[in-house]
Amino acid sequence: MKDISIIGAGYVGLVTGACLAKLGNKVIVVDKESDKIEKLKKGMVPIYEPGLEEMIAENRRLGRLSFSTSIQEATKATEVIFICVGTPAKPSGEPELSAVEAVSEEIAKAMDGYRLVVEKSTVPARTGEWVKRTIMLNNKEGADFDVASNPEFLREGSAINDFMQPDRIVIGVDSERARNILVELYAPLQAPIIITDINSAELIKHASNSFLALKISYINAVANICELVGADVVKVARGMGLDKRIGKDFLEAGVGYGGSCFPKDLAAFIKMAEDAGYNFELLHVVQQINSSQRALLIRKIKELIWNLKGKRIGILGLSFKPNTDDMREAPSIEIIQKLKEEGAKVAAYDPEAMERAKEILPDIEYCKDAYEVAEKSEVLVLLTEWDEFKNLDMRKIKDLLLKPNLVDGRNLYEPTEMKELGFNYRGIGRK
């Protein structure tokens, strides 16, 4: 059992905190937003992540998980401190690391004995050196400390499972003591542990996310070729993905990747490489392909209904992927803004993300379900492949639509079935 602080109560911090508590540790989760902490203290969880609310409740009941706004108190009470604050992209692509710096400084000022400070936020290589320097400068009592990198690979929507059953755990350390603490902490997960230096651990995260984004753009490029030659990208991807060297994950053609990680991590990796003297052209192309998929979807809508002005367009799914309420960099934002610019009337429904979406897209109609979206729409556009949309009564949907137009931005439906039902169906990369 270890005493642990988690700084940053977002998607990563809350999941990490709850899971480490579940493993038997005593965890304090800290955030600077007092509203968020007040809610958490009342048992309310500010994000949607399957299973998280129950896990937080259970561990609070057992006295293993608590919440605070004070980094100082948390640092004094614990030995291992995970930094899980946001690292959003600046316009240049470089990540904003001021929160990492501010937190490191506060931790340093409160240290009264050995502490292990672990970067879990996604940061560029060499950030560990800055964290170390910042702590050294502010560590007035001269307390002993180590810095480690332990990047997080969880996926929103299956975050608890990903944390508890990871493919691997990456630990970047430069001391035996730090290594032993982290290896012991993660031992109950029985996952392969990769131990590296700090720079390599930081780089593993950016290189992994960029590679996954590359896979998505690759299959999207293949989808475009499929359309040109009359092939079906779903079949092509299956044929490729069963090859173990390729793997089937992230080979789904669609409107492209979004979310709080891929776009920003790719931009950060490109910028970091550039600063280090390498022009990562390959990743520039990955970005270009991703943004052209949004434009492709708009083109498909126009192929069906020509002008958009004054027409009602129904959108199914707003979050950047299913099983999350996260709207950060969701493809829906760019697509809906474009439709609005061209004068369309947009009606949308998402099972979990509508509250967050209203802050970003205030001037669209929010509906109670998919059927209300379909009613009197000229075209129905699927942007997020929630399970709920797989099981819709498509006959009813077709009858509710003003015209039976269906643009499937995630290849959720079978083209032949949809055509048999009478839809004018357009998928991505399918005949």
Ligand X SMILES: NC(=O)c1ccc[n+]([C@@H]2O[C@H](COP(=O)([O-])OP(=O)(O)OC[C@H]3O[C@@H](n4cnc5c(N)ncnc54)[C@H](O)[C@@H]3O)[C@@H](O)[C@H]2O)c1
In terms of Cα–Cα distance, which of 341, 302, 334 is closest to 320? 334
The residue among 263 and 429 lying less far from ligand X, judged by its C-beta, is 263
**Chain centroid to CA 35:** 23
Q: Is 11 in the site for ligand X (CB under 6 A)?
A: yes
Smallest distance from the beta carbon of 68 to ligand X, in angstroms? 10
Are β-strands 345-349 and 312-316 bridged in parallel, bridged antiparallel, or unpaired?
Answer: parallel
Interface of this chain with ligand X, residues 188 to 217, rule: CB under 6 A: none
| Smallest separation, CB 209 to ligand X (Å) | 8
With respect to ligand X, which residue has the nearer C-beta, 176 or 249? 249
Residue 376 main-chain phi, psi, to 5 deg? 65, 20
Cβ contact 26:4 at 8 Å: yes
User: Which of 204, 261, 333, 418 touches ligand X (CB under 6 A)?
Assistant: 261
- Answer yes or no whether residue 32 interacts with ligand X by CB under 6 A: yes
Alpha-carbon span 316 to 347, nearest angstrom: 9
Site for ligand X (CB under 6 A): which residue of 121, 127, 139, 319? Answer: 121
- Any contact of residue 429 with ligand X (CB under 6 A)? no
Closest to ligand X by CB, 127 or 220: 127
Q: Cα angle at 329 between 323 and 334, to 5 degrees?
A: 110
Please report whether residue 152 would count as binding ligand X according to CB under 6 A. yes
- Residue 156 interacts with ligand X (CB under 6 A): yes or no: yes
The yes or no reply on residue 182 touching ligand X (CB under 6 A) is no
Q: Does 360 bind ligand X (CB under 6 A)?
A: no
Gyration radius (Cα) of the chain, Å:
23
Q: With binding defined as CB under 6 A, does residue 85 bind ligand X?
A: yes
Strands (E) across 250-344 are located at 312-316
* Nearest partner of 347 among 292, 394, 402, judged by Cα: 402
Catalytic residue among 84, 226, 261, 367: 261
Q: Of all helices (H) and strands (E), which one includes residue 382?
A: strand 379-382
Nearer to ligand X, 127 or 405 (CB): 127
- Integer Cα distance of 386 and 382 in angstroms: 10
**CA dist 50 → 156, 369, 370 (Å):** 9, 20, 22
Q: Is 261 a catalytic residue?
A: yes
Phi then psi for residue 263, to 5 deg, are -60, -45
| Cβ at position 12, least distance to ligand X in Å | 4
In the complex, the smallest distance separating the C-beta of residue 36 from ligand X, rounded to whole angstroms, is 6
Only segment of 80-88, 344-352, 381-389, 401-409 that touches ligand X (CB under 6 A): 80-88
Stretch that binds ligand X, among 81-89, 109-117, 180-188, 414-422 (CB under 6 A): 81-89
Name residue 376's amino acid. Answer: K
Catalytically active residues are 261
Q: Using CB under 6 A, list all residues that contact ligand X.
A: 7-13, 30-33, 36, 84-87, 99, 102-103, 121-122, 152, 154, 156, 260-261
